[in-house]
Amino acid sequence: MVDDVLAINIENLGFHYPGNDGVTFSGLNLKVKMGQRFGLFGPNGAGKTTLLSLMTGLIGPLEGKVELLGLNVAKHNNEVNRLFGFVPQDFSFYQELSPVENLAFFGAWAGLNRHQIKTKTDELLHILGLDGVRNKQVGKFSGGMKRRVNLAIGVIHNPQILILDEPTVGVDVQTRHAIISYLHELNKNGTTLIYTSHQLSEAEGLCEEVALIDSGEIIAQNDLEALLIEHKKESLEGLFLELTGKEYRNDV
């Protein structure tokens, strides 16, 4: 099953925003195997967030197909939504509520019952070091604590695929370490990770396979080590600069 079904299968994807404002995809193909730790990298405006939005069904493709675990995202949106978890870059939760209250709400929307929510909440808050502040309003938390709450909400329903959009931006070293360790733990238990970040050194430690995207095109995709050997580079950052250039990128 794990070998047969791809976690993500994008075939011949065509997409552009109304008025061709922003990134355009044309004939894009991408496959991510089940259980992989997959990194998607690119400069600002390359199309990472748009590609994640297409994977999660937030927007629909104009051509081609996007499948998660063999299900067409556009056709089976509700079923697909049970399979993946999404950790957006923004703090997408209720600042007026505590971690427990946020998890109770998002857990219910993810389809869990009261008992499942309670069990999972206790587990997650313990693992992510939020036990002591479980009933405090999230609005008063530091950026790092909010990142952990953001992550907890994304995984409360034990998703098979976890999609993370810059999950460690703006956090201290301890929080980053804790988050990355937890992501490794999730992956060991079978969760496929789709990860984007500008923290390339962090990504080197996390990702097995990477894809570099620029101007809506996948310009390189392979096992990380194989890519570094192929391009004779010692780091992902060096590879990134070689393939995407050193010019400033403005994403309006």
Partner 1 sequence: MYKLWATLVKDFRVLWRDGVGLALMFVMPITLVVVITDIQNSTFQLINKNKLPILLCNRDTGASGGQLVEAIEKIGMFSVVQLPQNQDEKTIGDSLRKKDALMSVVIPADFTRKVSAKSKNTAGKALTSFGLQADSSAQKDLGEIDPLTLYYNPVLQESLRLSVKGALQSALQLVESRQTLRTLYFDINEKPLPADLEGQMLNNKARINDIAVSINGSTKPPNAAQHNVPAWTIFAMFFIIMSLGGSVVREKESGSLIRLKTLPTSYLVGMLSKQITYIIVTFIQAAVIFSLGIWLFPHINLPGLELPHDLFGLFIVTLLTGWCAVSFAICVGAFSETHQQNNGFGAIAIVILAAIGGLMVPTFSMDTSLKAIANFSPMHWCLEAYYGLFLQNGTLSDVVSYLIPLVLITLAFQLLALWGLRRKNLI
Which positions lie near partner 1, rule CB under 8 A?
56-59, 78-79, 81-82, 84, 86, 88, 90-97, 101, 104-111, 113-114, 137, 153
> Can you point out the beta strands (E) in 131-208?
161-165, 192-196
- Tell me whether residue 72 or residue 222 sits nearer to partner 1 (CB atom): 72
- Tell me whether residue 79 or residue 172 sits nearer to partner 1 (CB atom): 79
- Tell me whether residue 27 or residue 111 sits nearer to partner 1 (CB atom): 111
- Tell me whether residue 94 or residue 221 sits nearer to partner 1 (CB atom): 94
Q: End-to-end alpha-carbon separation of the chain, Å?
A: 42
Q: Give 17's Cβ-side CA count (13 Å radius).
A: 11
Taking the complex as a whole, the smallest distance from the CB of residue 164 to partner 1 amounts, in Å, to 13
Q: How many helices and strands in the chain, by DSSP H and E?
A: 9, 10
How far apart, in whole angstroms, are the C-alpha atoms of residue 216 and residue 63?
Answer: 14
Taking the complex as a whole, the smallest distance from the CB of residue 81 to partner 1 amounts, in Å, to 4
Taking the complex as a whole, the smallest distance from the CB of residue 109 to partner 1 amounts, in Å, to 4
The structure tokens 């810059």 sit at 166
Six-digit token string for 215 = 């101007």
Taking the complex as a whole, the smallest distance from the CB of residue 82 to partner 1 amounts, in Å, to 5
Taking the complex as a whole, the smallest distance from the CB of residue 130 to partner 1 amounts, in Å, to 18
- In eight-state DSSP terms, residue 43 is -
- Tell me whether residue 79 or residue 185 sits nearer to partner 1 (CB atom): 79
Candidates 207, 195, 210; CA nearest to 49 is 195
Taking the complex as a whole, the smallest distance from the CB of residue 243 to partner 1 amounts, in Å, to 30
Sheet containing 161-165: give its strands across: 84-87, 161-165, 192-196, 37-41, 209-214, 217-223
Residue 124 backbone zone (phi > 0: left; psi -120 to 50: alpha; other: beta)? alpha
- Tell me whether residue 57 or residue 144 sits nearer to partner 1 (CB atom): 57
